[in-house]
């Protein structure tokens, strides 16, 4: 298990509470910053209280569980309805909702239509208009998303 404590005090609590698991590397607390997307992609599941990591894991298709205790925002509610995010709301949920099995990782992250990103980029280019050099100035004259 890779644990990413937010504060040094959290790291100390984990090491005090589970010294043997930390010593034999069953619990790993990295000593440097890791690429979060890579870490999630190569994980079998993600359990987090943080909204951004949960949403990124869901976007990658990684099974993700939220332990967040505050008000659930609209994006997370949507992900719950789509069964791409599972809320752990009480201790019993760990037994009934947590699916501990290897994730059948696809060759690459799931992708939906790339049209949204292309539309946003072309819209920004259209706002810049003639000020952009090269092929962008020509593209900026078209309506954003016209070739989607």
Residues near 70 by beta carbon (within 8 Å), at least 6 away in sequence: none
Report the range of poorest mean pLDDT among 22-36, 68-82, 133-147: 133-147
Report the range of poorest mean pLDDT among 40-44, 69-73, 131-135: 131-135
> Which DSSP symbol is given to 26?
S
Domain ranges of the chain: 8-96, 112-148
Q: Which region holds residue 61: left if phi is over 0, alpha if psi is between -120 and 50, else beta?
A: left
User: Could you tell me which residue, 65 or 114, shows the higher pLDDT?
Assistant: 65
Residue among 64, 74, 67 at smallest CA distance from 99 = 64
Question: First and final CA of the chain: distance in angstroms?
Answer: 42
The pTM for the full model equals 0.69
């Amino acid at each position: 298990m890779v644990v990413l404590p937010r504060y040094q005090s959290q790291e100390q609590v984990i090491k005090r509470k589970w010294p043997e698991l930390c010593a034999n590397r069953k619990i790993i607390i990295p000593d440097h910053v890791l690429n979060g997307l890579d870490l999630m992609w190569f994980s079998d599941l993600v359990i987090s209280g943080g909204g951004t990591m949960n949403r990124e894991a869901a976007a990658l298709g990684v099974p993700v569980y939220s332990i967040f205790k505050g008000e659930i925002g609209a994006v997370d509610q949507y992900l719950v309805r789509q069964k791409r995010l599972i809320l752990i709301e009480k201790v019993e949920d760990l037994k009934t909702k947590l699916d501990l099995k290897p994730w059948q990782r696809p060759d690459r992250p799931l992708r939906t239509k790339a049209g949204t990103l292309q539309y946003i980029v072309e819209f920004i280019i259209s706002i810049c208009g003639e000020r952009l050099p090269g092929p962008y100035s020509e593209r900026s004259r078209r309506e954003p998303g016209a070739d989607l």
